[in-house]
Amino acid sequence: MKRRTTARALLALIASGFVALPATAQQYRDPELYEDYQRQPYREPEPEGEPRAVSEAHFVADLGARFIGIEDTDGQSFAGQMTYYAPIGERLGFALGGDLGFGSVDGDFGEVVGLHTAAFWRNPRGGYVGAIVVFDHISEFQRVNTSAIGGAYLGRWDWMTTLGYDGGDGPGVGLFSFEAGYYPSRQFRVGGQLDTGTNETIGGAALLHWQPSEDSTVTIHADLGGGKLSDEGFYRIGFGVTFSFSERKTLVDQLRGDRLLSFE
């Protein structure tokens, strides 16, 4: 029973995603990677030529699968997600969405239903800071994650952190996460993530995002990681496809001016 409860807690933690803590960022421009923002394809630039926190109101859809293992217990989840992003003035952004699918732990199948929301301040040239709330319902199991998020955009690098609490059914866990992402090109991102928290929680993961072409609305993403939760080792594997219903632009411009990585 302890292993099943721990596995369900882990599945809920993974389904809620990993997000980021307040960070201050300086402005930086790499001419080999980024075009002049005066010429970026933002539909409605600000009078000073500065991009907004969210370039335009739009939807982002994601279809994904996750597989986890902890000791001799296995779990899977398959879900679709829809998120609505909108600008609030010049520097504020808002996100609201939900998840629907199914999952199982050791063959015990049940529905996956989730809600998530975020409010954030962002300068696409520098970074962002905000807050996020994620609710997950898996069969009869429920979790809520509340976190402060933030990050810095420095040339080809993204630096993101998080500080929050995940509670509900099963043990409550305080979490801290750090992620570094690098863009070898405008259409490809590789990242590394380190997570630590209460209840002897520690983990890490490798992540990648790939956009097939510069004007593609599709991004393919995957992650592979593992660690320890309550003295038991675990692994996690995830992959999915994201569809962005905004103006066509490269992956780096989508992640810095349209959407957040928090919900993938």
Q: Please report the pLDDT score of residue 125 as a whole number.
A: 92
Query: Positive or negative, the Cα torsion across 147, 153, 154, 159?
Result: positive
CB of 3 closer than 8 Å to CB of 232: yes
CB of 243 closer than 8 Å to CB of 221: no
Kindly report whether the global pTM for this prediction surpasses the value 0.85: no
CB of 153 closer than 8 Å to CB of 126: yes
The hierarchical CATH code for the domain 2-263 is 2.40.160.40
How far is 250 from 107, CA to CA, in rounded Å?
40
Q: Please report the pLDDT score of residue 167 as a whole number.
A: 81
pLDDT tens for the chain, residues 1 to 264? 444 444 444 444 444 443 333 333 333 444 445 444 334 433 333 445 678 999 999 999 999 999 988 777 788 889 999 999 999 988 999 999 999 999 887 777 888 899 999 999 999 999 999 999 999 887 777 889 999 999 999 999 999 999 999 887 767 788 899 999 999 999 999 999 999 988 788 999 999 999 999 989 999 999 999 998 777 888 999 999 999 999 999 999 999 999 998 877
Q: Please report the pLDDT score of residue 48 as a whole number.
A: 53
DSSP letters, 121-161, are: EEETTTEEEEEEEEEEEETTEEEEEEEEEEEEEETTEEEEE
CB of 81 closer than 8 Å to CB of 66: no
Long-range contacts: 219-222, Cβ < 8 Å, 24+? 219/244, 219/251, 219/254, 221/64, 221/264
